[in-house]
Amino acid sequence: MPAQELYQSGVEILNECDDSAAASLERARALEALGDNRLKSLMAIANFRSYGLDVDGEDLLQGAYVRWLKSNVPVGDTDDTYKFLIGAINSQRTNSFRHKKVVKRTIGERKFAKDENSEDPVYEIAARQPSPDDSIYLQQIFDLVTDDPDVQLLLMCQGQQATRAETLLELGWDEKKYETVRKRKIRRVAKLFSEGVI
């Protein structure tokens, strides 16, 4: 996809926004002011920076456009816009590598390429059948996370084999808090296992 078409799709995203579209018109004009040479240069940088990632250069550049259109950074000259877009491309690359590192540390190294239709493996940790040792591990983990009462509450519910809906109802949490605490629990337990504490 040529750089100009990517720019056009970024403008289409802007047009889909409601009230912020009018306020971001100046941002869209700043992208137009970059010109073909700078857009081609951005595309080349994005393609180069996508090496080793699960996404291609077009996705990085599209993400940079979206970040620019949604940002609160004051619109300056074309050099400022160009530098912002390069920074956004580099930031997405760094975020992708950080995410891979978390997945590798939490779950382990992937043996096969990720299926595009599946969810992120961090969220797909397979549930297994409970074993007699689980209650011992659960008690050890419960005792080791005394500094985090939310994780302890979640562990108690999971120890009783409560479903997600039952846990939300019993603890009065919303989906966001549940996911936050669940992810925190996964990281803490993975750290305890990797340190050999459990």
Q: Where are the domains of the chain?
A: 3-118, 127-194
Residue 15: pLDDT above 60? Answer: no
Average pLDDT over residues 172-194: 87
Instruction: Kindly tell me the burial class for residue 96, based on how many C-beta atoms sit within 10 Å of its own C-beta (0-12, 13-18, 19 or more).
Output: middle
Mean pLDDT is lowest, of 9-23, 35-49, 106-120, 140-154, for: 9-23
Average pLDDT over residues 51-77: 84
Position 74 scores a pLDDT of 76
Position 101 scores a pLDDT of 82
Q: Regarding predicted confidence, which is higher, 22 or 53?
A: 53
Handedness of CA 153, 155, 161, 163 (dihedral sign): positive
Residue 83: pLDDT above 80? Answer: yes
> CA 32, CA 82: separation in Å to the nearest integer?
11
Average pLDDT over residues 137-163: 87
Mean pLDDT, the chain, as a whole number?
78
> CA 85, CA 103: separation in Å to the nearest integer?
27
Q: Write out the H or E segment, with its range, that includes residue 12.
A: helix 3-16
Position 105 scores a pLDDT of 77
Instruction: Kindly tell me the burial class for residue 31, based on how many C-beta atoms sit within 10 Å of its own C-beta (0-12, 13-18, 19 or more).
Output: buried
Position 95 scores a pLDDT of 86
Position 112 scores a pLDDT of 62
Residue 126: pLDDT above 80? Answer: no
Average pLDDT over residues 101-121: 67
Return the amino acid letter for 28.
A
- Tens digit of pLDDT for each residue in 19-35? 555 556 777 888 888 88
Q: Which residues of 47-77 are buried (b: 16+ CB within 10 A; e: fewer)?
A: eebbeeeeeebbebbbbbbebbbeeeeebee
**CA distances from residue 41 to 3, 47, 85, 150, 193 in whole angstroms, order as listed:** 9, 10, 11, 48, 46
Report percent pLDDT > 70 for the chain: 75
pLDDT category at 163 given cuts 50, 70, 90 is confident
The residue whose two tokens read 């009462």 is 149
pLDDT category at 81 given cuts 50, 70, 90 is confident
